[in-house]
């Protein structure tokens, strides 16, 4: 990477080496323009909003309250049916009949109101459970960033429902953190790189960014040997060696632009010439042999077919 990066700089190609040095490792993150921290801040704000919604008086309902309403509705329905049966039998008259009919009318109105309350409380309880599940998911995600499991703080005392906890919500306190580097360290390192290459707080790479490609390098094989030629006049020592590497050039979204293999062979160098050859290496990449299939072409050379 050092050698290829140096040669690219010699060709006036900008080089960034995050694998060697993570951006902002020493300088600190730019919180104002951080894509990750902006998203994390929005997530935390959403959690606060969800907790605020749970304090809405219309959501202060529990499953016990709903069960009591259902039981009362059944009692009133049974009473209404009994009263209507008495009237149908025709045994009541005068004041008794009037009172019974008034009671039937009141029971019908009461049942209608109870039905409406049951419908409203059922929807409220479902909304509370959904909000608690969302809060639990957020807390689980936040815990995964630090390598620990965080129990979701319960909602307000009136909305907490131990008999019907939200699906998937943590029920135990954290037992500790996982070993090794927490995931948030890698996330922040990637976030620093994202800021350097021009990713905005919306997570998109700016079209004006000069960092539009990533070069992946891998050394496949390298080696050398010492060769001695002897005859009646004496011996001559030669050094020889070469290396093979592969590369891939792709865009930040993972789209492959091109790839290929490259190798260079140093030839035979006499021992007495080794110091001179070592101090004056061939650094011209055009003299290296490259195997390409559909080579790396820049936009201004694509039509001519030349390769850069």
Q: Which residue has the higher pLDDT, 122 or 289?
A: 122
Q: Decide if 91 is inside a domain.
A: yes
> Sorting pLDDT into bands at 50, 70 and 90, what band is 88?
confident
* pTM given for the model: 0.52
Residue 157, pLDDT score: 39
Q: Which residue has the higher pLDDT, 5 or 156?
A: 5
For residue 220, which phi and psi values (nearest 5 degrees)? Answer: -90, -45
How many distinct structural domains can be found in the chain? 2
Q: Is the Cβ–Cβ distance between 223 and 241 less than 8 Å?
A: yes
137 in the same domain as 274: no
133 in the same domain as 26: yes
Q: Decide if 102 is inside a domain.
A: yes
The residue with tokens 């709903």 is: 66
238 in the same domain as 146: no
49 in the same domain as 96: yes
Per residue in 213-251, pLDDT (tens digit) is: 889 999 999 898 988 888 888 888 999 988 898 989 998
Residue 45, pLDDT score: 93
Q: Decide if 81 is inside a domain.
A: yes
Q: Decide if 10 is inside a domain.
A: no
- What value does the mean pLDDT of the chain take? 79
- pLDDT of 168 > 80? The answer is no
State the residue range of the domain holding 198. 17-207
What's the rounded Cα separation, in Å, for the pair 147 and 203? 24
Q: Decide if 8 is inside a domain.
A: no
SS3 state of residue 258? strand
From 207, 226, 260, give the residue that closes a domain: 207
Q: Cβ-count burial of 98 within 10 angstroms (0-12 exposed, 13-18 middle, 19+ buried)?
A: exposed
144 in the same domain as 242: no
From 177, 192, 207, give the residue that closes a domain: 207
Q: Cβ-count burial of 23 within 10 angstroms (0-12 exposed, 13-18 middle, 19+ buried)?
A: buried
Q: Decide if 135 is inside a domain.
A: yes
From 175, 207, 239, give the residue that closes a domain: 207
- pLDDT of 57 > 70? The answer is yes
Q: Decide if 146 is inside a domain.
A: yes
Per residue in 120-154, pLDDT (tens digit) is: 888 888 999 999 999 999 999 988 888 765 444 44
% of the chain exceeding 90 in pLDDT: 11
186 in the same domain as 223: no
- pLDDT of 89 > 80? The answer is yes
DSSP 8-class letter at 255: -
Q: Is the Cβ–Cβ distance between 274 and 285 less than 8 Å?
A: no
Residue 292 C-alpha from the chain's centroid: 35
121 in the same domain as 139: yes
200 in the same domain as 51: yes
170 in the same domain as 76: yes
Token pair listed for 192: 């620093």
What are 22's strand-pairing partners? Answer: none
Residue 196, pLDDT score: 85
What's the rounded Cα separation, in Å, for the pair 199 and 189? 14
Q: Is the Cβ–Cβ distance between 111 and 80 less than 8 Å?
A: yes
For residue 145, which phi and psi values (nearest 5 degrees)? Answer: -65, -35
The residue with tokens 């131990």 is: 162
Q: Is the Cβ–Cβ distance between 246 and 220 less than 8 Å?
A: yes
What's the rounded Cα separation, in Å, for the pair 273 and 238? 9
258 in the same domain as 150: no
What's the rounded Cα separation, in Å, for the pair 168 and 178? 21
288 in the same domain as 174: no
DSSP letter for each residue of 239-254: EEEEEEEEEEEE-TTS
Residue 297 C-alpha from the chain's centroid: 33
181 in the same domain as 119: yes
Which residues, 6 or more positions from 256, have their beta carbon under 8 angstroms from its beta carbon? 248, 249, 250
């Amino acid at each position: 990477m050092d050698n290829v990066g140096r040669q690219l700089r010699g060709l006036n190609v900008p080089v960034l080496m995050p694998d060697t040095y993570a951006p902002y490792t020493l300088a600190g993150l730019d919180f104002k323009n951080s894509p990750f921290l902006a998203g994390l801040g929005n997530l935390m704000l959403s959690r606060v909003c969800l907790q605020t919604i749970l304090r809405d008086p219309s959501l202060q309902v529990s499953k016990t309250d709903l069960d009591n309403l259902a039981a009362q509705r059944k009692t009133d329905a049974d009473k209404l049916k009994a009263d209507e049966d008495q009237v149908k039998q025709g045994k009541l008259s005068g004041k008794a009949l009037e009172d019974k009919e008034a009671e039937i009318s009141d029971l019908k109105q009461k049942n209608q109101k109870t039905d409406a309350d049951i419908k409203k409380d059922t929807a409220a309880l479902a909304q509370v459970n959904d909000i608690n599940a969302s809060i639990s998911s957020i807390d689980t995600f936040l815990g995964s960033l630090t390598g620990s499991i965080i129990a979701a703080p319960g909602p307000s005392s009136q909305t907490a429902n131990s008999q019907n906890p939200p699906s998937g919500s943590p029920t135990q306190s954290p037992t500790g953190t996982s070993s090794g580097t927490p995931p948030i360290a890698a996330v922040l390192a990637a976030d620093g790189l994202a800021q350097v290459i021009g990713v905005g707080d919306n997570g998109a790479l700016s079209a004006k960014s000069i960092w539009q490609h990533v070069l992946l390098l891998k050394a496949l094989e390298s080696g050398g040997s010492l060769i001695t030629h002897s005859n009646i006049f004496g011996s001559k020592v030669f050094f020889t060696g070469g290396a093979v590497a592969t590369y891939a050039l792709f865009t930040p979204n993972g789209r492959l632009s091109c790839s290929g293999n490259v190798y260079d062979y140093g030839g035979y160098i006499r021992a007495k010439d080794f110091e001179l050859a070592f101090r004056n290496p061939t650094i011209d990449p055009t003299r290296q042999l490259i195997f390409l299939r559909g080579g790396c072409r820049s936009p201004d050379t694509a039509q001519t077919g030349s390769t850069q």
